[in-house]
């Protein structure tokens, strides 16, 4: 506190005001610019010429108005008897800090002009300028100017105008397709769909199988084009990029089914002892059905090595993949998260396909054809469109890895207990077995399955648990170190279709070797021809297969009618037969020599009451 003593004027009299002193400072000494000094709490003592003192009242303050920033003192004045005395009071005067405003909340593009709300905006202290409204999404700049820089300053101590960014965010984009599925087929090589989106984002469309179907875009129209009339299922993924006002929406897909008839065929000259068949091409097929050819031959894998087949690129072979059946429904596919060969029934899908078999007895030839789609003169194979057990049936009537095959069961027992799994379950039947062998035959063009894939679990080997081929990386081949070695085999995921144990086959009966066939699982029964179709063919006496019969009622049926071949000629597998009512099992078992096993090993010898340790079963799921 400082004091100033000063006499101003005065006349006569013996006692006059001599000085004043601020003995108690005011309550408030710190001010913001523009505030007036307050004397509250301040005590001023007046001293007179005779030494007397009094508390001065009615003092005045200089300056009397608002204080300016930077002032360090004010003058206190007291006047009495024409004499004025002053004293100074120290003060601090600073400008009021003002927070720079910021955008309050968020704005999203709406197509209309919008202005933001502001945190800390005080119209009494500042003005708003710059860009204060907008329509399109983006960032804008507003300007805030202090109205009185003598009184106010920004929090950083400056007083110049502040530029503040504010934003209108992009709206969520949307995307719809006028079609989510398309089918390309003969006579319809292209199809289109319309893309509807918000905004102007760039539309892109990508085919996951450009070798089957390609895409082009014109404006918002996506056109799908067949590529060389190849067949398969293609996913077209459509995406829309973000633009000025809209974010990119989630992509959408359109599934394209390219169903062009692809026909492959082989020809067996049954007067020739070789088990090899001739592969038919568009140029050499005398019947004019074949419209596709392969440039290489399939090679089954050995052990964990690589295998290959040109048929991997063609349906129905391409679609023979493993699936889990869970709670009576098709579930995980091999390769998907959750797939398990040990936790769930594991089955191999046999895609729907069409067939034709042409007999030319004058030239001793049989032509076998497989088409991936309907074609004039072809029929849908009754054993296709089903799921065949990857493994031999194990205890509990499951198709899982890691357990001994279930044996010592009659065919009827296997039938009954397979059906207990649910309405769509059966045991392996004749139509399905015939579908598998026909697909093998057209793919490998050779009756000798063992020379092409592997001997199998044969030759006095012990019974093996299911899963012997699980270590293989390719779907077809042998786990043995050579095709002539002994070990598990698989054809397109079906493990041990020969060797290890026989598979009971339902839907076919023999009475004194005459064959009766049924394709309705609900009518399957033993020792009967009721509800069965007479094949018009009979099995020969047991021996190596040399000839096959032509079942005109059911042309897909494989029925040996003559023997006289060997383990390396004609159809180099064995047929067994017996008198009376008999049933069928196929493939051979572990204690048979290799010559008595194979894909076409056809055992019609056993009675329906037989239940042996060498005969098991395989599940069938018919969706």
Higher pLDDT, 6 or 225: 225
Predicted confidence (pLDDT) at residue 511 exceeds the cutoff of 90: yes
Minimal CA–CA distance to 558: which of 445, 432, 466, 444?
432
pLDDT at residue 231, as a whole number: 78
Convert 74-88 into a string of H (helix), E (strand) and C (coil).
Answer: EEEEEEECCEEEEEE
Predicted confidence (pLDDT) at residue 416 exceeds the cutoff of 60: yes
Is residue 10 a part of any domain in this protein? no
Distance (Å, whole) CA 580 – CA 372? 40
Predicted confidence (pLDDT) at residue 11 exceeds the cutoff of 60: no
pLDDT at residue 13, as a whole number: 56
Is residue 2 a part of any domain in this protein? no
Predicted confidence (pLDDT) at residue 1 exceeds the cutoff of 50: no
Residue range(s) defining the domain that contains residue 518: 264-621
Mean pLDDT of 337-361: 98
In three-state secondary structure terms, 577 is strand
Domain check: are 66 and 146 in the same one?
Answer: no
Is residue 520 a part of any domain in this protein? yes
Instruction: Please tell me the pTM assigned to this model.
Output: 0.67
Give every CB contact of residue 321 below 8 A, 6+ residues apart in sequence.
Answer: 333, 334, 348, 349, 493
Is residue 429 a part of any domain in this protein? yes
Domain check: are 120 and 247 in the same one?
Answer: no
Is residue 1 a part of any domain in this protein? no
List, as one string, the DSSP characters of 371-432. Answer: ESS--TT-EE-TT-SEEEEEEE-BTTTB--SSSPBP-S--HHHHHHHHHTT-TTEEE-BHHH
Predicted confidence (pLDDT) at residue 6 exceeds the cutoff of 60: no
> What average pLDDT does the chain have?
95
**What is the torsion angle, in degrees rounded to the nearest 10, for the CA atoms of residue 575, residue 579, residue 580 and residue 582?**
-10
Is residue 9 a part of any domain in this protein? no
Domain check: are 445 and 474 in the same one?
Answer: yes
Domain check: are 616 and 501 in the same one?
Answer: yes
Predicted confidence (pLDDT) at residue 8 exceeds the cutoff of 60: no
Domain check: are 88 and 101 in the same one?
Answer: no
Whether 412 and 401 have beta carbons less than 8 Å apart is answered as no
| Domain endpoint, select from 131, 151, 169 | 169
Predicted confidence (pLDDT) at residue 3 exceeds the cutoff of 70: no
Predicted confidence (pLDDT) at residue 10 exceeds the cutoff of 70: no
Six-digit token string for 460: 């006095």
| Helix then strand then coil, % of the chain, to nearest 5 | 5, 40, 50
Mean pLDDT of 214-236: 92
Q: How many residues does the chain have?
A: 623
Domain check: are 304 and 441 in the same one?
Answer: yes
pLDDT band (50, 70, 90) for residue 9 = very low
Whether 137 and 171 have beta carbons less than 8 Å apart is answered as yes
Distance (Å, whole) CA 94 – CA 67? 9
pLDDT at residue 14, as a whole number: 83
Domain check: are 195 and 160 in the same one?
Answer: no
Domain check: are 302 and 446 in the same one?
Answer: yes
Whether 353 and 381 have beta carbons less than 8 Å apart is answered as yes
Predicted confidence (pLDDT) at residue 186 exceeds the cutoff of 90: no
Percent of the chain with pLDDT over 90: 93
Q: What is the DSSP letter of 575?
A: E
Q: Nearest 5°: phi and psi at 361?
A: -70, -25
Mean pLDDT of 101-117: 97
pLDDT at residue 362, as a whole number: 96
pLDDT digits (tens, 9 = 90+) for 124-179: 999 999 999 999 999 999 999 999 999 999 999 999 999 999 999 999 999 999 99
Domain check: are 302 and 429 in the same one?
Answer: yes
Minimal CA–CA distance to 259: which of 294, 306, 300, 226?
226
Predicted confidence (pLDDT) at residue 76 exceeds the cutoff of 70: yes
Domain check: are 236 and 327 in the same one?
Answer: no
Whether 509 and 533 have beta carbons less than 8 Å apart is answered as no
pLDDT band (50, 70, 90) for residue 185 = confident
In three-state secondary structure terms, 363 is helix
Residue owning tokens 């129209």: 221
List, as one string, the DSSP characters of 202-265. Answer: PEEEEES-TTTEEEEEETTEEEEEESTT--EEEEEEEEE---SSBPPPPPEEEEEEEE---EEE
Is residue 518 a part of any domain in this protein? yes
Q: How many domains does the chain have?
A: 4
pLDDT digits (tens, 9 = 90+) for 534-586: 999 999 999 999 999 999 999 999 999 999 999 999 999 999 999 999 999 99
Q: Between the CA of residue 355 and those of 257, 376, 540, 605, what are the distances in Å?
A: 21, 11, 26, 29
Predicted confidence (pLDDT) at residue 366 exceeds the cutoff of 50: yes
Domain check: are 214 and 157 in the same one?
Answer: no
pLDDT digits (tens, 9 = 90+) for 252-273: 999 999 888 999 999 999 999 9
pLDDT digits (tens, 9 = 90+) for 22-64: 999 999 999 999 999 999 999 999 999 999 999 999 999 999 9
Mean pLDDT of 427-455: 98
| Domain endpoint, select from 73, 94, 115 | 94
Is residue 3 a part of any domain in this protein? no
Percent of the chain with pLDDT over 70: 98
Domain check: are 432 and 302 in the same one?
Answer: yes
**Beta bridge partners of residue 283, listed in sequence order:** none
Distance (Å, whole) CA 88 – CA 72? 10
Any idea what the CATH number is for the domain that residue 46 is in? 2.60.40.3630
Mean pLDDT of 462-472: 96
| Domain endpoint, select from 169, 190, 215 | 169
């Amino acid at each position: 506190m400082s004091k100033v003593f000063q006499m101003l004027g005065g006349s006569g009299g013996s006692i006059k005001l001599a000085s004043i002193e601020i003995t108690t400072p005011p309550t408030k000494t710190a001010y913001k610019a523009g505030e007036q000094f307050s004397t509250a709490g301040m005590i001023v003592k007046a001293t007179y010429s005779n030494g007397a003192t009094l508390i001065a009242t009615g003092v005045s303050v200089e300056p009397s108005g608002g204080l300016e920033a930077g002032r360090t003192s004010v003058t206190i004045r007291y006047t009495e008897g024409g004499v004025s005395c002053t004293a100074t009071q120290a003060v601090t005067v600073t400008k009021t800090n003002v927070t720079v405003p910021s955008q309050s909340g968020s704005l999203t593009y709406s197509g209309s002009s919008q202005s933001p709300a502001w945190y800390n905006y005080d119209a009494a202290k500042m003005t708003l300028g710059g860009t204060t409204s907008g329509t399109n999404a983006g960032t804008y700049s507003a300007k805030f100017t202090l109205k009185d820089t003598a009184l106010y300053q920004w929090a950083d101590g400056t007083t110049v105008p502040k530029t503040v960014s504010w934003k209108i965010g992009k709206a969520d984009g949307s995307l719809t397709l006028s079609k989510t599925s398309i089918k390309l087929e003969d006579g319809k090589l292209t199809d289109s769909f319309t893309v509807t989106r918000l905004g102007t984002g760039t539309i892109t469309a990508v085919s996951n199988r450009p070798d089957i179907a390609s895409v082009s875009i014109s404006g918002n129209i996506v056109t799908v084009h067949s590529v060389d009339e190849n067949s398969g299922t293609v996913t077209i993924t459509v995406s829309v990029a973000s633009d000025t006002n809209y974010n990119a929406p989630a992509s959408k897909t359109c599934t394209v089914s390219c169903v062009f008839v692809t026909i492959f065929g082989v020809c067996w000259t049954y007067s020739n002892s070789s088990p090899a068949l001739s592969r038919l091409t568009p140029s050499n097929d005398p019947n004019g059905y074949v419209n596709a050819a392969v440039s290489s031959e399939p090679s089954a894998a050995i052990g964990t090595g690589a295998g290959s087949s040109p048929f991997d690129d063609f349906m129905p072979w391409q679609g023979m993949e493993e699936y889990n059946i869970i709670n009576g429904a098709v579930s995980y596919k091999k390769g998907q998260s959750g797939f398990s060969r040990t936790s769930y029934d594991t089955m191999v899908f046999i895609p729907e396909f069409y067939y034709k078999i042409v007999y030319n007895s004058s030239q001793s030839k049989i032509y076998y054809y497989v088409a991936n789609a309907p074609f004039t003169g072809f029929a849908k194979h009754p054993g296709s469109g089903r799921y065949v057990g990857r493994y031999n049936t194990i205890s509990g009537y499951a198709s899982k890895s890691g357990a001994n095959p279930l044996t010592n069961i009659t065919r009827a027992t296997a039938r009954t207990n397979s059906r207990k799994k649910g309405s769509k379950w059966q045991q392996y039947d004749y139509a399905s077995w015939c579908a598998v062998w026909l697909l093998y035959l057209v793919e490998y063009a050779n009756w000798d399955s063992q020379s092409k894939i592997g001997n199998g679990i044969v030759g006095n080997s012990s019974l093996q648990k299911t899963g012997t081929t699980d270590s293989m990386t390719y779907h077809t081949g042998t786990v043995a170190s050579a095709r002539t070695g002994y070990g598990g085999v698989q054809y397109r995921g079906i493990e041990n279709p020969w060797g290890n144990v026989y598979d009971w086959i339902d839907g076919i009966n023999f009475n004194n070797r005459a064959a009766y066939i049924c394709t309705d699982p609900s009518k399957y029964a033993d020792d009967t021809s009721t509800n069965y179709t007479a094949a018009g063919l009979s099995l020969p006496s047991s021996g190596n297969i040399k000839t096959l019969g032509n079942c005109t009622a059911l042309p897909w049926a494989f029925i040996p009618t003559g023997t006289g071949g060997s383990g390396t000629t004609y159809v180099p597998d064995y047929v067994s037969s017996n008198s009376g009512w008999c049933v069928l099992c196929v493939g051979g078992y572990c204690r048979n020599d290799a010559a008595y096993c194979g894909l076409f090993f056809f055992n019609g010898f056993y009675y329906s009451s037989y239940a042996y340790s060498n005969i098991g079963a395989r599940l069938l799921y018919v969706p």
